[in-house]
Structure 1
Amino acid sequence: MKNKHQIRINPETCIGCGLCRKDCPAGNIRIKDKKAKVITQDCIMCGHCVAICPKAAVSMTGFEEPPEEIEKPSALDPGELLRAIKTRRSIRQFTKRRVEPELIAQIIEAGRLTPTGGNAQNVSFIVLNDRLESAEKLAVGLFRRLLPLMKLVNPIARRMSIDDHFFFKKAPAAIVIVAPSQVDGALAAANMELMAEACGLGVLYSGFFSMAANWSRPLRRLLGLKRKERAVTTLVLGYSAVNYRRTAQKEKASVRQL
C-alpha cells in the first residue's frame, strides 16, 4: 500500500506554519527555509499532514478519491450513541427481505474507513449473497463432524444441535471480515455493526462460521481465502423478524482508577 503513494508539498502555497511537522506521528517532516519538507517517503501514509494543512499545500498521490474538506467537526450525540449501543441485540430471527446492495456498500465503507494499526489498511471483506447457502452447507458439514468431540469438553456443546441454518439463521446476507490482525478486524466489524444498525438491519456475529472458514479447506476455497488470510469475524445481516421491548441487564463495569 505504501509503495503506491507519495507525499507532496507545494512550496508555492506552504506557509511554513509547522502544523504538519508537529502532528506527524512518524516525525517525517521538517521545516527548512520556512517551508515544510518530507524527510522520506517511507512512512505510514496516515494523511495527518494532508488533513491539518491550513493551505491545502500537502497532498498524497495514488488514491482514487480526494480528501474531503471539513467545514466543521461532526459530533454524535453522546446520549443517542449510548442508547443505540445499549439497546442493540444479536438477531437470530430474520425476515425474507433481501438486504439492498447500497446498504451493504455503506456497511463496508464503515469498515474501510476504520483506523488500522500502523495505518496498514489491510482489512478486506467477503460478501456472501448468492453463495451464502453453499458456504453454510460446508460449515454445517464440518461442525456436525466435530460436534461429538466438542461435547466431550464443552458443556454448552452437549446441548447443541447443528441444523441446516446453524450459522446464518436464514439471513439473506453475511460479510466475512478478513485481516492479519484480530484487533484491526474486530474494530472494523464494530463500526460496520453500528452502521448496519443505523441502516435498520439486525446483526449477528457468527464466530463459529469464522472458525469453520479458517479450518475447512473446501470452505476456504469457496470464499477465495489465500493461504495466510484469516477470517477474523463474520457479520450476519438481515431485517429483524422480532422486536425487543426492553434492554438486557449487564453487570457493572470493573474499573480501576490509578
Structure 2
Amino acid sequence: MRFEHAVLIDAEACIGCGLCRDDCPAGNIVVEDGKARVLAQDCIMCGHCVAICPRAAVSMTGFDDEPQKIEEPMALDENALLVALRSRRSIRRFADRAVEPAVVERVIEAGRLAPTGSNAQDVSYVVLQGAGKDEAEAYAVRLFRRVLPLAKLVSSLARRVDVGDRFFFKGAPVALAVVAKDEVDGALAAANMALMAEACGLGVLYSGFFVTATRFSFSLRRLLGLRRGQRVVALLVIGYPAVRYRRSAPKEPAYVRRP
C-alpha cells in the first residue's frame, strides 16, 4: 500500500464479541478481558475488522473515504447478470460523443474497489484523452508498422491487417490503461471496470495489441509515466457504441474437470 495506516479499537465501544478476531485473515486480533486488541500494525489492512464490527468500534487511519453502513447485503439478479454477460460484445465502432468525466470516474472507482492480493491496492490508472491519447496511439502505431512486415511472413491474419492511425483506439474518446505490478490484481480491476462501463451504457474494447506495444516502446512507457516494475495489464477503450448487436454470439461449452 502507498500510505501508512493503523487499526484502532475503541475499548469503550467494543463488546468483546470476537467477530473481528475470528474474521481476521492475519490472526492479528485477540480478545482479552472482554475487549478486542490489535497485536501489531504490520497486518495487510484488509478492513475486515472494520466491516464486521457490530458496534463500529474498529477504525483505520489514513483513508479519505469513510466506511458506509450496509443495511442489507446487496444481491445481483443472477439471471439479468447472465444475460448481460452473454450479450456483451467487444466494440470497435464508437459514436462521435464524449464520455462525461463523472462516468469515467465511476468506471475507475469500480476498478479501485476490486480485490488485490494481500490487499496491496497496487493498481493505478492512466486516462488517455485528447492529445495525450493521440500521442500514445501514434507511438504504438509506429511500432506495429515496423514489425508488421515480419509478422506477415508467418501469419495469414497479419497479411490482412492494416495498421491505420486508429488501429488501437478505434476513434473512441477515452482509453484507460490499468497499471499494476501484479497481473491478477490488474485483471480483476479491469473486469470490474468493464462491467461498470457497460452498466453506464458504454461500449468496451480490450486493446491487447496496445498492451503489447507498452512492453516494447520506451517512449510509450515514458508517456504513460510507468515506473520500474509497473506494467500495463489491460487497456480499456471506452465510448458510446455506434453499433447494436441483436443476438448473442455462439460460445463453445466450458471445459470443466472434476478430479
CA distance in 2, matches of 1:150, 1:41: 53
Name the CA shift for 1:257/1:242 in 2 (closer, same or farther; >3 Å).
same
Query: Any conservation in 1 of the 2:98–2:173 contact (CA below 8 Å)?
Result: yes
CA distance in 2, matches of 1:254, 1:97: 40
Equivalences for residues 90-169 of structure 1 within 5 A: 90-130=90-130, 131-169=132-170
Query: Any conservation in 2 of the 1:2–1:45 contact (CA below 8 Å)?
Result: no
Instruction: State the Cα distance separating 1:3 from its structure 2 match.
Output: 5.7
Instruction: State the Cα distance separating 1:102 from its structure 2 match.
Output: 0.4
Which residue pairs with 2:204 in the alignment?
A: 203
Q: Percent identity?
A: 62
C-alpha offsets along residues 143-171 of structure 1, whole Å, 9 cap, x if unaligned?
00011222233332222221111000111
Instruction: State the Cα distance separating 1:228 from its structure 2 match.
Output: 2.2
- Number of aligned residue pairs: give it: 258
Query: Any conservation in 2 of the 1:2–1:44 contact (CA below 8 Å)?
Result: no
Check if 1:245 corresponds to 2:231. no
Amino acid at match of 2:204: V
CA distance in 1, matches of 2:184, 2:160: 31
Amino acid at match of 1:210: V
Paired residue secondary structure (1:200): coil
CA distance in 1, matches of 2:226, 2:257: 41
Name the CA shift for 1:234/1:2 in 2 (closer, same or farther; >3 Å).
closer
CA distance in 2, matches of 1:30, 1:192: 37
Q: What's the RMSD between the two structures over aligned residues?
A: 1.1
Instruction: State the Cα distance separating 1:2 from its structure 2 match.
Output: 6.9
Which residue pairs with 1:171 in the alignment?
A: 172
Instruction: State the Cα distance separating 1:81 from its structure 2 match.
Output: 0.6
Amino acid at match of 1:51: A
Amino acid at match of 1:246: R
C-alpha offsets along residues 114-157 of structure 1, whole Å, 9 cap, x if unaligned?
00011000000000012111111110000000112222333322
Query: Any conservation in 1 of the 2:202–2:240 contact (CA below 8 Å)?
Result: yes
Divergent runs of 4+, >4 A: none
Name the CA shift for 1:152/1:247 in 2 (closer, same or farther; >3 Å).
same
Structure 1, unaligned runs of 5 or more: none
Which residue pairs with 2:237 in the alignment?
A: 236
CA distance in 1, matches of 2:201, 2:3: 39
What TM-score comes out, normalization by structure 2 length? 0.97
CA distance in 2, matches of 1:226, 1:118: 21
CA distance in 1, matches of 2:3, 2:86: 42
Which residue pairs with 1:216 in the alignment?
A: 217
Amino acid at match of 2:57: A
